[in-house]
A = this chain, B = another copy of it.
Amino acid sequence: MDATLDGDVVRAGGDARQRFYDSRGYGRPTGSGVALAPVEAAHLLYRDDLDAVDGMGFREFLATDDRLVIRFLVYKDFRERGFYLSPAREDWVADPDPATDLVVYPQGKGPWDDEVRYRVRVAGERESVPATDLGGVVLAVVDEESEITYLETTRPAIEGGTDYDPSHTSGDLLADRVVLWDPPQNLYERGFFGQRLAGRGAEDGPLQLSLVEAAHLAREGILDLDVDPAAVVERGREVEGERFDRRLTVYAALRSKGLVPKTGFKFGADFRTYSTVETVENLGHSENLVRVLPAGYAFGPRELSLDARLAGGVHKRTVFALTASSGAIDWLAVERIRP
């Protein structure tokens, strides 16, 4: 069967509606024919279900648009996994979102049903993806060798169950950390602030705080220092610039929501978080790896792949905290999936 290009759709007549739409969910019906998006036409050409579009075979048709190759690869992959799917075009699907390329139906369902399994955005590994476009979509990244990585992005609720009010204390600023020489007993054991100078097993003795922990406690009026409390924030800015302010904002937000943030350095993240800490002695596993980024950030797919891969390997979830200078935070979780 041949088809013709008509603007940005491919039209097939004859029994095309029955063959392509009714039985296999391609395109949209137009009388007894169908209107196909280029990616659908490419797939039908690839499968030899269409012979030509305006005389072009698969090879020629694929070369008509630079974006068509990677969309085709993702479209084909979902089809091979047993899904029907539609291009997220205006008037073709409910709630088309300009950040979405494809709408994937649950297995066994199709465009004639009204269920959606995934909303998919397609990106090449070299395209940058604004954080604001993510949150309700699966990002399908086609890498340079045409392998596809699926990253599910969501807007997670950040809620923990830690309930602890630290009591007043004092300490010294030492380079880029703070030492409490005589800390309240519970500050570490119940609040999981800092680390014992003597190491993990120690039950008492001096406590080291990170700059961000110290700045938070100083702002809350809980920590007195040998220097002006503003000096801690200044020290942080000296070593990290504006990033320190963003990290402090996120640290305070996590604590206020009942989570306990600790350094995520060993995982290359800003923080790891524990949702509920009763005592450090009975600590569970941390659940999230939090990376703090400025609002308006655009991701390179490679960094998303790296973070999500590492987090998956240690059974944690990557959460990005997109932090505006106003202090507003958008939380974005990213996890690798296999559709």
A→B interface (CB under 8 Å): 59, 62-63, 66-67, 69-70, 77, 80, 124-126, 141, 143-147, 149, 172, 174-177, 179, 181, 194-195, 197, 199, 208, 210-213, 239-240, 262-263, 265-269, 301-303, 305-307, 309-310, 313-314
Contacts and interface: CB of A to CB of B under 8 A. Distances in A.
Contact of A59 (B66, B177, B181, B268): B181
Interface of A is mostly: mixed
| Most chain B Cβ neighbours within 10 Å, of A144, A146, A197, A269 | A144
Contacts of A125: 265
Given A63-B172, A145-B263, A268-B307, 8 more contacts: A66-B174, A70-B175, A145-B262, A267-B306, A267-B309, A268-B306, A309-B310, A313-B313
A208 B240 CA distance: 43
Contact of A195 (B146, B177, B212, B269): B146
A239 B125 CA distance: 10
A306 B270 CA distance: 11
Given A208-B145, A265-B144, A306 B310 contact: yes
B310 A266 contact: no
| Most chain B Cβ neighbours within 10 Å, of A70, A145, A210, A313 | A145
A254 to B, nearest CB: 15
Contacts of A267: 305-306, 309
A266 B175 contact: no
A262 B146 CA distance: 11
A145 B210 contact: yes
Contacts of A240: 126
Given A59-B181, A310-B310, A310-B313, A265 B143 contact: yes
Given A80-B199, A145-B263, A309 B174 contact: no
A102 B269 CA distance: 28
